[in-house]
Amino acid sequence: MVSIRGESPIRSSLRNDNNHQHHRADIDGLRAIAILPVVLFHAGVAGLGGGFVGVDVFFVISGYLMSSLIASEMTQGEFSLLGFYGRRIRRIFPALFAMMLTCAIVAWFAFMPQELLYFARSMTAAALFISNIQFGKEAGYFDIGAQMKPLLHTWSLAVEEQFYIGFPLIMILLHRLAPRRIVPVTLIALAASFAAGIGALNRDPTAAFYLSQYRVWELLIGVVLGLRAIPELRSETNRQVLAATGLVLIGIAVFTFTETMAFPGFAAWLPCLGAACIIHARAGDGIVGRVLAQRPLIFLGLISYSLYLWHWPIIVFTRYFTGHELTPALRLVVIVASLVVAIASWHFIEKPFRKGRVLLTGRLLPTMAAVVLVGVTAGAGALVVMSGGAPGRLPADVRAIYAATYDRSNFYREGCFSESDHRGPSNADIENGRVCALGNLADLGPDFLVWGDSHAAAMAPAIDAAAAASGFGGMFAAHASCPPLTDVPLATNGDTRRCTAFNDAVRDLIREKHIPLVFMLAYWPKYVHQSELPNQGDYFDASVPPSLADYSTPVATALDTTLAQLKQEGVKVVLVMDVPEMGHFVPEALAKAKLEGTSSDIAPPLSYIAERQALARSVLEKSAAKYDAMIVDPLPSFCDNDRCHASRGGVPLYIDADHITASAAKRLGYLFAPVFKMAQNI
């Protein structure tokens, strides 16, 4: 057991800090200010676009309280690492694992295999307090959406727990070796974390959001306050002004920020500074302090941990079982239900365990119980993952339908397809022709190239079959969320740079190998509208019109530039229109329809799809006519009269909402046979 005994070298700066003993009602009120926007934002209440910043406020509070406690106990020579961890276990574990157990039971009986697989992964990660890392990895193109992840909110707990594990050890080390360097080291770490986060925000915004090294500066703001590194305000007026300023800063963030803005980055300073102002002001006796100390706010602050734990799973499962986004009435229901469950969790789970009235007494027992609990939970999740989401739970006929989820094109495999997280062929591999082959690729070199994004990978088996039948051989180069266009600006700067580098490598390959024929395939409607279908997935509703916002100008310009360059180099281009988007995750929707005995006619009307594709088709047709490119259109193979089809003979045609199955693609080889017939004369 590591403990600190005797006179502390940092006593002089912390002599009067007994915050671990003196309860601050204003911090309970600040917790309420933090949790309310989070819950209302997640429930979809209008006007709170920045409600997510409540998590950042919590980070600052956590850093302050933890550092105050540790510093105070070190000052008194009473700090025990085992005791500290025991208190964290009693504080965090009981309600967290009760929530996860409840979610696991519901997920087992409700979720389809792929959904349960993702849940099990997240449960294992949450039990090990690495869910922020797991969710960062899962933010790829083919992963299920955030609205389908009941444990998504545990990412912030993972960030805090990782900090709780490491920070006390660093404090002990500095306390013994360089006690006067504690504050400078903290400030340096804060600056380094923030700077690293700014760099990651441009390079990899998902990592910048989820990973501890890019968020720890927010907790360190609280640590700076907890170490009394900033002189206290003597004037009551100044304290009240500072506290009021903090409320204003948090309010500005809550009411003006949006999900689409770059975050955390510089923007996160606003709520963090707001929280820091309130904490540092210690305005308990003034107007702001009295406002924060109102009983309703104090009570919300007391239950804030349980409310945070339970509100998100309640929202996720409510959406899941109703099959649509929350209506105003359902918003009220989930908010009230979250409060009721949180109160019960606080009263029957949190309080008894924190007070030591239930089991976890002594110093060693909490740690032993935690190890067992973590091991059992993580192990159970791992078993479900190894089973592939326990498909045996489903009836055989439902499993047969759901099996289409796994009927993925072979061109998605790691050696062929470049993922956003850098898995797959590198740009150097592509430039040097170390890519997957299609058809009958001979030593003489490729006759053609398939170039595009994930929709190119989905359609590639059709081109592969047609090429093999015609005696042609080609190469495949595709990257997630990267249209086959040079110099096209995308939604984020990071995507633009990543895709530009990839497409430059493909262009080098075309020139180096003198490839005469290029197929260009992409999720064209997504790029010209900068959006997928509204509520795509479990909550898709064809009565909600698709986004028709026109962002086609940069796409059309880049397409013209690319085609002009290829034509000048003597390359024949084939532009492949996109398949119809289904909106629903097709295998899941059809499997559920079979299970529940409801209609399997889930595809949107042809009119809906035509409206959605009109702009993209116009852009491709104009460029094709201008540069003598061929067009292949798969739409008639999926639609007839006024209907489109998500399945044929009861077999799904899609693995999700917009990527066709490998089996469906292979049956479309006839669409590309005329191209290879033409190519014999090139």
Same structural domain, 379 and 407: no
User: pLDDT per residue over 381-415, tens digit each?
Assistant: 999 999 999 999 999 999 999 999 999 999 999 88
CA distances from 634 to 169, 265, 417, 579, 644 (A): 60, 43, 22, 6, 12
Same structural domain, 428 and 367: no
Longest dimension (CA), the chain: 90
Same structural domain, 277 and 382: yes
Q: Residue 57: CA atoms inside 13 Å, Cβ hemisphere, count? A: 32
Q: Residue 441: CA atoms inside 13 Å, Cβ hemisphere, count? A: 16
Same structural domain, 349 and 466: no
Tell whether 528 is covered by a domain.
yes
- Mean pLDDT (the chain, rounded): 90
Same structural domain, 388 and 408: no
User: pLDDT per residue over 186-241, tens digit each?
Assistant: 999 999 999 999 999 988 888 999 999 999 999 999 999 999 999 988 888 999 99
Tell which of 366, 393, 420 closes a domain.
Answer: 393
Q: Which neighbouring-strand residues pair with 521?
A: 452, 576
User: pLDDT per residue over 641-682, tens digit each?
Assistant: 888 999 999 999 999 999 999 999 999 999 999 999 998 876
Same structural domain, 552 and 625: yes
Q: Percent of the chain scored above 90 by pLDDT?
A: 73
Same structural domain, 240 and 290: yes
Tell whether 31 is covered by a domain.
yes
Tell whether 5 is covered by a domain.
no
Q: How confident is the model at residue 2 (pLDDT cuts 50, 70, 90)?
A: very low
Same structural domain, 464 and 521: yes
CB 451 within 8 A of CB 517: no
- Token pair 């002599």: residue: 15
Same structural domain, 301 and 419: no
Q: How confident is the model at residue 610 (pLDDT cuts 50, 70, 90)?
A: very high
User: pLDDT per residue over 533-547, tens digit each?
Assistant: 888 887 888 888 988
Structural domains counted in the chain: 2
Tell whether 265 is covered by a domain.
yes
CB 535 within 8 A of CB 324: yes
Q: How confident is the model at residue 59 (pLDDT cuts 50, 70, 90)?
A: very high
Same structural domain, 588 and 635: yes
CA distances from 498 to 20, 313, 491, 521 (A): 48, 34, 12, 18
Q: What is residue 651's predicted lDDT score, i.e. its pLDDT? A: 95
Tell which of 337, 363, 393 closes a domain.
Answer: 393
Residue 187 carries which side chain, given as an amino acid letter?
L
- Token pair 């006929």: residue: 397
d(CA 108, CA 477): 39
User: pLDDT per residue over 23-48, tens digit each?
Assistant: 788 999 999 999 999 999 999 999 99
In this model, does residue 620 exceed pLDDT 70? yes
d(CA 388, CA 115): 10
Q: What is residue 356's predicted lDDT score, i.e. its pLDDT? A: 62
Q: How confident is the model at residue 361 (pLDDT cuts 50, 70, 90)?
A: low
CB 62 within 8 A of CB 219: yes
Tell which of 393, 423, 456 closes a domain.
Answer: 393
The CATH number assigned to the domain holding 632 equals 3.40.50.1110
Q: pTM to 2 decimals? A: 0.86
Tell whether 4 is covered by a domain.
no
What range does the domain containing 388 cover?
11-393
Tell whether 6 is covered by a domain.
no
Same structural domain, 151 and 168: yes
Tell whether 3 is covered by a domain.
no
State whether residue 223 is helix, strand or coil. Answer: helix
**75-79, 358-362, 660-664: which has the minimum mean pLDDT?**
358-362
Tell whether 2 is covered by a domain.
no
Same structural domain, 383 and 445: no
